[in-house]
Amino acid sequence: MTTLLWQRKIKGCQLIVVQGDITLEDVGAIVNAANELLHHGGGVAGAIVRAGGASIQRESSAWVSEHGKVVTGTAAITGAGELSARHVIHAVGPVWGTGNEVEKLSSAIRSALDLAEQHKLAGISFPAVSSGIFGFPKELCAQTFFDTVENWLDEHPERSLREIRFCNFDNPTANVFEREARRRFG
């Protein structure tokens, strides 16, 4: 079950914060908090492969074989297997403590948004990339997400993306995103 926590139209785009299972999001693409080799073992990545099927891991492995690793701060796109979403965008955020973490996370978010736009998608759903086992502080993660999304929307006034969702499974992370959205936008 997905619980709506906050929503508002900002700069012509619906921004929505929900608590729920990202694998159930019915959007053009869900974002996977990935590692550079696109090995989807645990966390959000493992949940996506378990729900969407082995084809997601096969496509990810083929992508890495063809293009090389997905560098931190960038993203790659695959099909979504059996998920409701059409695509999975694998965004590689930074591990906390590696330096320039805010810049790297912002770059990963932008890369995911750019891929969604290149594929003419109407909707995308993000988890709190890097805030799990990568250790990025949740409050700073939410601030970085909203800063990056606002700037990206300013730079792309003509866009296919009409809905950007922030979907987190656990209550504490979802609440951090809700608080940051309300702080910024009311």
Query: Beta partners for 30?
Result: 88, 125
pLDDT for the residue numbered 45: 93
pLDDT for the residue numbered 49: 96
The pLDDT confidence band at residue 186, using thresholds 50, 70 and 90, is confident
Distance of CA 137 to the CA centre of its chain: 16
Is pTM beyond 0.85? Reply is yes
Could you read off the pLDDT of 30-82 as tens digits, one per residue?
Answer: 999 999 999 998 889 999 999 999 999 999 999 999 999 999 999 999 999 99
Could you read off the pLDDT of 85-110 as tens digits, one per residue?
Answer: 999 999 999 999 999 999 999 999 99
- Look at the chain and report how many structural domains it folds into: 1
Q: 108: domain CATH number?
A: 3.40.220.10
Give the domain extent around 125.
3-185
Per-residue 3-state assignment (H helix, E strand, C coil) for 107-172: HHHHHHHHHHHHCCCCEEEECCCCCCCCCCCHHHHHHHHHHHHHHHHHHCCCCCCCEEEEEECCHH
Sheet order of strands, 29-33 included: 3-10, 13-19, 163-168, 123-126, 29-33, 87-91, 75-79
The pLDDT confidence band at residue 18, using thresholds 50, 70 and 90, is very high
